[in-house]
Amino acid sequence: MTRKTRIRAALVTATALVSVATVTVGISAATPEKAAKPSKKEVAALFDRWNATLQTGDAEKVADQYAKDAVLLPTVSNKVRTDRAGIVDYFEHFLQNKPVGKKVQTIVNVLDSNSVIDTGVYEFTLTDHETGEKKVVEARYTYEYEKRDGKWKIVNHHSSAMPEG
C-alpha cells in the first residue's frame, strides 16, 4: 500500500467513525429516559383529585380533569359524552346533587409510565337539591388515565349503578 492509499484509507475510516458516533449521539439525545411507572398510591390520588374537584361545584373545573377526546359513560344519564361540552353538561346537572364520592373497592392496573386504569366500586352520597334528603348510590367505575403534556387526564370514564342494588 502506498503512503497516499494509507492516508486515504485512514481518512475514510475516520469519517465513518465520526458518522457512526454522530448518529449514536443523536439517537441517545432523541430517546427520552424511560420514565418511572406511577405507584398505585399515585393512581389512587387521581380519584381523590377528581372527587375534590366535584366539591367545588364547578362543572368546568371537573371537565378540566378530562382529556379533550375523553369519553364519559355517566352513572345517571343515558347519553354518551364524547366532548367537553357534553361532559360539562352532565356535571352541571350531577353537581346539583352535591356528590361526595368514596371508593369501596379499587383495582389499579399500571400499563406503563403514561397510562393507567383504575376500576372498582365506589359510592356517592347525594343530596337532593330540593328536599335536602341524602341517599347513597353504589356504582361500578372505570377510569382510564393518560399522561398528556405532563398532566394526568381522564380519557375514558365509565360509571354504572350496581345491577343488584
Task: Record the cell numbers describing residue 4, joined without a space.
Answer: 497516499
Which three cell numbers, joined as nine digits, stand for 115? 397510562
- Nearest Cα neighbor of 67 from 39, 95, 87 is 87
Q: How many residues does the chain have?
A: 165
Cell 352520597 identifies what position?
A: 125
pLDDT confidence of residue 103: 97
Residues of the chain with pLDDT under 70: 1-33, 165
* CA-based torsion, 78, 139, 71, 101: positive or negative: positive
**C-alpha span between 68 and 148 (Å, rounded):** 10
Q: How far is CA 59 from CA 66, 95, 151, in A?
A: 11, 7, 19
Q: How far apart are CA 143 and CA 90, in angstroms?
A: 17
pLDDT for residue 23: 42
The 3-class secondary structure across 117-157, one letter per residue, is EEEEEEEEEEECCCCCCEEEEEEEEEEEEEEECCEEEEEEE
Residue 25 · residue 70 · CB < 8 Å: no
Would you state the cell numbers that stand for residue 82, as one nine-digit string? 364524547
Residue 106, Cβ neighbours under 10 Å: how many?
15
**Whole-angstrom Cα distance, residue 119 to residue 11?**
62
Note the pTM of the prediction, 2 decimals: 0.78
- Give the C-alpha separation, 86 to 20, whole Å: 53
